[in-house]
A and B are shown apart, each in its own frame.
Chain A
Amino acid sequence: MNDLSSAVNNTADNQINIDHVNEILDSNKDFRGGAIPVLQKIQIKYGYLPKESLYLVSKRLRIPLAHLVGVASFYAQFRMSPRGKYMIKICCGTACHVKGSIKLVDRALENLEIEAGETSTDNLFTVERVACIGACSLAPAITLNDVAAGHLNADQLEKIIADLKADGLS
């Protein structure tokens, strides 16, 4: 538990300040064909790709918005909606699947009253199903803000969520 909470950084609830996007674009302006690196940097800054930022990137890189959003929606690495303070990725690879990862997913989604990929209304949690994270020995495994945890059952995951919720509200 301890190692998980230490992994939490302040990626959530960033104020949308479009100046950062301009800075990112300025620092990339000599790099042709650089839409993806720009989007990546924006995602690192905001935790997702705010709509306003895509409008601005489209305008400044002279890429039609429909095409830019096409790129952003193609790659799984880009998120188009704000992510919660805690990003829970539940591995649904073969080993985790066999070890019951579906139960983890179901419980987490039921507990937070969201669909996979969505963020809870309190902006604390985002739950995603992901393909194999390469931690089969820990199956069923999750990552919480990029730190892995394994050998979980549904009850343990629910407790992790409850603890984090208490932390988040305090």
Chain B
Amino acid sequence: MSNNNMITITIDGTEVTIDGGKKIYDACIQAGIYLPGLCYDPKLTRFGGCRMCVVDVTSRGRTRTKWACCEPVKEGINVSTNSEEIRKKRKVIMEFLLAAHPLDCPTCNASGDCSLQDAAYFVEQKRGRIPIKRRNEPLLIDNPVIERDYNKCIMCGKCVSICDEIQGNGAIGFQKRGYWTEVGTPFRIPLKCDFCGQCLHVCPVGSFQDHTELYKGHAWEYETTSTICPYCSVGCTVVANVKKGSFVKITSNDLIGVNNGNLCAKGRFGHDFVQAESRLTQPAVYKHSKQEDCTWSEILEITANNIKKTIQDYGPDSVAVIASETMTNEDAFTLQKLFRSIGINNLQTLSNLNNPELNSGIFEKFGALAPLLDYNELSSAGSFFFFGCDASKENPVIANMVRVVMRDKKIPLYIANCRNTEFTPHEEERILYKYGSETHLLAALMLKLSVFPNSEMVNVENPFGSPGTTPSMNMPTAADISGVSEEEIADMAKGLSGAGKPVIFLGKEIHDHKRSTDIVAAATNLANFLGGRVILYREYCNSQGVNDMGISPTHLPNYKKVQDVDLAPAIDLFEKMKLGKIKTLVVADCDPITHFNDGKFVQEAMSQTEFIVALSSFATSTTKLAKTVFPLTTSYERDGSFTNNEGRVQLIRKVIEPIGSSRPIWEIMKDLGSNLGIEMSYNNCEDVANEISQAVEAYRGFSHKNIAFGSQVAKYKAMSDEKHSLNFTIKNVEQTEQIDVKFPITAIIGNSLYHLGALSRHSKTLNNIEPRVSVELGPDDAKNLELNDGDEVTVKSKHGAIKALLKVDNRSPIGVVFITKNFEVAPALHLIDRNDSVLKVTIAKS
């Protein structure tokens, strides 16, 4: 905790001025003085276990030996880190540490990246007087990614702390006592956790190792490049380790980026899609009734000719583009520029098709209240409120940040969800509501807080108006519909208002919800009333940037409105396709058949399209239908930029050479432009970035030179500065339509911790962790349906069926299941009927 009181101390004759809440170790780091501490990590609770950071502290004429990591700085103290006496003490401590550590350095993967090695070398301690005693514990390989070796452990406790405090798992702890202490799982059960690899990041020795990269290289052989993770919208900085042009592993750096060295399983282990065998390496065109490899000039010519001809014959409205939200800003900008220059405005992303108001329309709808938030503001929150949000699975590193703030500032946590999602093993307040009743619950919270003019009844169509002839709602109805008692609602309202300034997180569940705009508006009102903020998680690494760049039929770059185009058109793109109105469809880096609701309908619709141009890194259901297939580079093979959840523009850098003849989208757009008579004079990706900084007002001053990590946040100009109450309708989704009694279980489809979008399924490591689609069912339901954990089941909706693996756990309450998406072999989204608000299913053994 900082008390903002700057004080000055002397370390080895150098004066250091530092925040009074810090420890001597921090002052040494600031002064650039190395201490051979092994258990110290600024982001974790002080442990003081290794004793290697001993220093002499002279205060008021008396000198005492202290541990630098635990001793607070005090005005005027004199610290000596390298006296004869201290050197001797450190040497003895090291002697004891080495007595219980096997000196396996020649075969240890951590060699060269080992704090113990560095420290022993620093204190010049060779083999000591004490005979080395080996524990001879077997190597533990009980999961696909994290290998554990108790023999090497020096009991620094960093892994235990990070797993509990930051990851909220608490999967490992100190077991037993004395010499036989081990950092392990309870009862030595196999490690079952998030597989985030935070433990192997903090491990100072080789006790935890990345099983996927063993014996592939030593620390000194790697070339490292910092870039941005291509998975979710948090925008973590990852450090790619490359040996002789081959991408080996990802590590993290605590000092750069927004993530403070934290990564999740996808970020840390899910990089092997880059060199996967399933990569597309050659352009292909459809001829002689199959796809055949061709040259770049051939595919560009065929594609350009087709687009020209389609526009000529059917007009520009017969061409449409669906782009992914994982492409870079530069790609998105050139893509929209090219297509808009030839008169094509039908540019879509899948989430825009799903809900334009929460994507390209977000500034229009919410203005100054748009649910974006700088991560730095998390530390000034009064409380955290997770609403319909499974942060620890969807955006694990934001969850890490929140846990750190909760730990340091003792900030309360409130969770409202329709499932028992895990967040922390420690204190929290939680309510469980019925899916579909979100607006009722939020309105009830606001009723309790007297946000509305009338203190007992609320007009459901205009809550801020007075209840008149239109239907109204009060506390008992809200409690009845949401399944949360009035007392629980009152307690939570009291807690939220007492803690002040909540940060409300809305999850993917809300984003995908049929009533999402109303829910976001309601939550925004609540936050606004309490002086807090709302964050709406976007799904992919550049969801924000792609919208900023104007991949939308309604908005140009920087959210300039396109004239005469409705935000919510009467019939959507796929319906148009089904009617045969779209003759040419360009699909850039995504697969709508797997990743959009009602994939079956999407597939039928796309089959009606005469000419599909697919740009993709991998073979997908969409590339199978395509007439021309362009191989794309992944984000690790090119330069560019991503804009994260906060609107922070971050540089991605080329880590390895492009695989095969794959190319980035901006290059393809440039060449396609030449074939279409549109000249774009970019020599490299940076030229595109420079043009973006001219064309997009929020990105003014942006260039690849000045966006070193996390330095620039896009300056969005809100549509209005005024914060006013947003209108919303209070409506329960289940009230709106007839529910078929044959399908009694409510299913929620979402991303699992290990799979997101199109990339993760091509990562062998992530597939090893989670190989297939699973259904989470509560124990009571499982008993009633006579199903057991691990059963093969068929999930049926009125619209379709998929086969899945059953997981019985406490996350799902009675009548609710969670199904993971992203699996192309059993796409959960195919269960959804595009006209329904809520997915209802049955589950039976298959």
Contacts and interface: CB of A to CB of B under 8 A. Distances in A.
B186 A68 contact: yes
A63 B425 contact: yes
Interface in A61-95: 62-70, 73-74, 80
Contact of B175 (A62, A64, A73): A73
Interface centre among A51, A54, A65, A66 (most CB of B within 10 A): A66
B215 interface: no
Contacts of B174: 70, 74
Nearest to B428: A62
B187 interface: yes
A51 B172 CA distance: 17
Contact of A70 (B169, B173, B426, B427): B173
A64 B170 contact: yes
B288 interface: no
Contacts of B425: 62-64
A64 B426 CA distance: 8
A90 to B, nearest CB: 21
B661 interface: no
Interface string A103-143: 00000000000000000000000000000000000000000
B177 A69 contact: no
A108 B187 CA distance: 27
A64 B169 contact: yes
B177 A66 contact: no
B164 interface: yes
Nearest to A59: B810
B166 to A, nearest CB: 13
B427 A69 contact: no
A74 B177 contact: yes
Contacts of B705: none
A69 B175 contact: yes
Contacts of B172: 66
Nearest to B810: A59
A117 to B, nearest CB: 12
B186 to A, nearest CB: 4
Contacts of B426: 62
Contact of A69 (B160, B164, B173): B173
A54 B177 contact: no
Interface residues of A, number: 14
Nearest to B191: A66
B171 interface: yes
Contact of B187 (A62, A63, A69, A74): A69
B176 interface: yes
A16 to B, nearest CB: 16
A66 B176 contact: no
A54 B185 CA distance: 13
A128 to B, nearest CB: 15
A64 B164 contact: yes
Interface in B150-187: 160, 164, 169-177, 184-187
Contact of A64 (B171, B176, B184): B171
Contacts of A80: 187
A75 to B, nearest CB: 8
A63 B170 CA distance: 8
Q: Which of A64, A69, A74 has the most CB of B within 10 A?
A: A64
Contact of A65 (B177, B186, B427): B186
Interface in B455-471: none
Contacts of A70: 173-175, 186
Contacts of B170: 64-67
A66 B172 CA distance: 5
Nearest to B193: A66
A5 B427 CA distance: 48
A74 B176 contact: yes
A64 B176 CA distance: 16
24 contacts: A54-B186, A62-B427, A64-B164, A65-B170, A66-B160, A66-B170, A66-B173, A66-B175, A66-B184, A66-B185, A67-B170, A67-B173, A68-B173, A68-B186, A69-B173, A69-B175, A70-B173, A70-B174, A70-B186, A73-B175, A73-B176, A73-B177, A74-B176, A74-B177
Given A54-B186, A62-B426, A64-B173, 9 more contacts: A51-B187, A63-B425, A64-B170, A65-B170, A66-B160, A66-B173, A66-B185, A67-B164, A68-B186
